[in-house]
Each structure stands twice: as structure tokens, then as C-alpha cells.
Amino acid sequence: MFIALLVLGGVVGAAYVFRQVVVKGKRCTSEAKLHGRTVIVTGSNTGIGKTTAVDLAKRGARVILACRNRQRGEAALAHVKQESGSNQVVFMQLDLGNLKSVRSFAETFLRNEPRLDILINNAGIYMAGRTEDGLGMMFGINHVGHFLLTNLLMDRLKECEASRVVNVSSLGHNFGKIDFECLNKHKALGLGTSFMEVLQAYCNSKLCNVLFTHELAKRLQGTKVTCYSLHPGSINSELARNTNSLFQLLLKPITALFFKNTVQGCQTTLHCALQEGIEHLSGRYFSNCTVQEVYSKAKDDAAAKKLWEISERMCGLA
């Protein structure tokens, strides 16, 4: 009995240390204040997006909550205002799966907001299907919608001193691949609907985020705009809300022990948005508030340029 209790204590102790040291990770150490600055956070009605918005509002920023669902967006607006104590928080409807909505959002923003200092492309989805424009769901929302939004707002970013674009990607990009033939023919990163095929398409979309950032940094050379992609960590959030209920049930004990909460999960986003002295790392990929090396496929100049050109064509910029 004593040995069993000893073993159990050891397991519990090891799990606690693992959670405190590995899972929690580093925190953003920047003490930057953002009074007079404007930030957009996409997908900020839930998860790390909402928690990111709270932190930025506490620092004095004017924060635009760019969310698809009006009811959930307005609920998030009330929450962020209450948690931050700031009235400089605004909800604006944005459906990244509808390119007309992206253009309408950008047009309204540019008409009403004189500044844009930080654009955080945080929204992401994990599900099969097609967008209203006929693009693969995860390709359209996780990449193309943000690609169009960033390009439409780029002139406003360039007008502000030392502005930044932050693209929330994932460690999953390491397992991604870009099938350009499939993209050109089917406007999707994959056609299957099985668990593994959907997971692969998600990883492919996250590779798109990293390649987009790599190419964007090249195109921003000579300006004061910098950009970064990142892995926020494995987050106990609502990303898996579109998966089947059995999978979500099986995932619960794993997420409870091994996944970050949203405060821990937004730290690398905040680091990329705020940390002083990382401007020379524009275009790079971060994890745990630290710049990381990536595989050659995630910094492939030819693939990044090709993806940019296809994306331009698919969202009507070309």
C-alpha cells in the first residue's frame, strides 16, 4: 500500500512539475503601454483571441474585436470591457469565410479609424467544407481571408510608426504540405473528410500562415511594418468545437492536464505584438515567446511566392 501511494505521489508530482514548467511556458515580459494605438484581433469572441484583447485593452489600446457572429461578438465586447476596465473596445463584424465581408470590414474600418498599429490574425477554424466563395473551409478562413484583410489594411499599417502583423499559426505547420495542383484545380488544401484528412488540411493551412509571413516580410522590407508567425501552444479552447462529441469527450482529460489555458496561450501572441527589439526578426516564427528555426518547407522562397500569387488571384487582388 505504501509503495502504491509513493508511486501515485510521484506521478502526481511529476504531472504538477510538467504542467508548471512545460505546459505553462514563458510569459510576455513587455510592459508596453498602448494609449493612442489601435489593434485589430480577429476571432476575438473566444479563446486566446478574447484573452489577447483583454490584455491589449488593459494596456490602453483601442481594440477592434473582429468576429463573425454578432451575438457572440457583442457578448465578448461586454466581457472585454468589464475585464479590462476600458471603453476603447469596439465590435466589428467580420466573416473571413466571405471575401465580400472582408472587403466590407476593411472599407468600414478605413473610413472610421485613422490608425492601425497592430493587426493580429488570430481566427482559425478546424472543420471540412467550403466557404461562401467556394474555397476549402480551412484554406479560405485560416489563410485567404487573413491574406486579403492584411493586404487591404496594409497602407494604414504603413502610415503608423513601427506597426506589426501577427499571424497565429501552429506547431502543426511542421506536418503541413502545399499541393499547388490541388489548390489550382479545387481551391482547397485537401478534399477528404476523414479525421486524418481534415487534420492534414488543418496542418496545411497552418503552413500557409508561416509561408505567408515569410513572403510578407520580404515585401515589407524598407518599411517600418514587421510581421511574425507563431505557435501559441496547445490550448484548452473551442478550436475543436466542430468535431464530433465523442472526440471532444475523449479530449477533455488530455486538455485539462496537458494544454494551456487561454492566459498562458496568448503569451506568444503578445510577445510578437509588443516585445521591443524583435524588429530584425520580421518574418520569423515564434513559440514559447522565443524565435524558432523552421523546416526548409516553411521558409521556401519559391513556395511562399507561389502561394502569394495564388492567394492574390483567389481573392481578386491580382
pLDDT in tens, 191-240: 999 999 999 999 999 999 999 999 999 999 999 999 999 999 987 655 54
In a domain, residue 59? The reply is yes
State the number of CA atoms in the 13 A half-sphere of 316 facing the CB.
10
Residue range 125-172, pLDDT digits in tens: 999 999 999 999 999 999 999 999 999 999 999 999 899 999 999 999
Sheet (strand 285-287) strand order: 89-93, 62-67, 38-42, 118-121, 164-168, 226-231, 285-287, 290-292
Quick check: is 295 catalytic?
no
Examine residue 126 and state whether it is found in any structural domain, yes or no.
yes
Mean pLDDT rounded to a whole number for the chain: 90
The answer on pLDDT for 18 being more than 50 is no
Is residue 310 included in any domain, yes or no? Answer: yes
pLDDT of amino acid 247:
55
Looking at mean pLDDT, say which of 13-27, 251-265, 300-314 comes out highest: 300-314
**Any domain includes 3:** no
Q: For residue 89, give the H/E element and its range.
A: strand 89-93
Q: How would residue 10 be classed by pLDDT, with cut points 50, 70 and 90?
A: very low
Find, among 208, 198, 200, the residue nearest to 229 by Cα: 208
Assigned domain for 120 exists: yes
Q: Report how far apart the first and last C-alpha atoms of the chain are (Å, whole number).
A: 71
Task: Tell me how far apart the alpha carbons of residues 239 and 202 are, in angstroms, rounded to a whole number.
Answer: 11
Q: Are 145 and 99 in contact (CB under 8 A)?
A: yes
240-268: pLDDT as tens digits: 455 566 555 655 455 555 678 989 999 99
Tell me which residue range forms the domain holding 57. Answer: 36-234+261-314
Q: Give the span between the Cα atoms of 210 and 97, in whole angstroms.
A: 20
At 2 the pLDDT is: 52
Domain count, the chain: 1
| Pairwise CA distance, residues 103 & 148, whole Å | 8
- C-alpha–C-alpha distance, residues 88 and 90, integer Å: 7
What local confidence, expressed as pLDDT, does residue 11 receive?
Answer: 43
Instruction: Locate 8 and state its grid cell.
Output: 501515485
* Any domain includes 18: no
Question: CA distances (Å), 292 to each of 50, 171, 281, 283, 289, in order?
Answer: 25, 11, 10, 11, 9
Per the CB < 8 A criterion, the answer to whether 208 and 189 are in contact is yes
pTM of the model: 0.88
317 has pLDDT over 80: yes
Contact predicate 119/94, CB 8 Å: no
Is residue 7 in some structural domain? no
Cell of 70: 454578432
The yes-or-no verdict on residue 13 having pLDDT over 60 is: no
- Average pLDDT (33-44) is 97
Task: Say which of 16, 126, 202, 285 is annotated catalytic.
Answer: 202
Integer CA distances (angstroms), 136 to 60, 206, 238, 314, in order:
38, 14, 20, 11
Whether the pLDDT of residue 184 is over 80: the answer is: yes
> What's 190's domain CATH number?
3.40.50.720
In-domain check, residue 48: yes
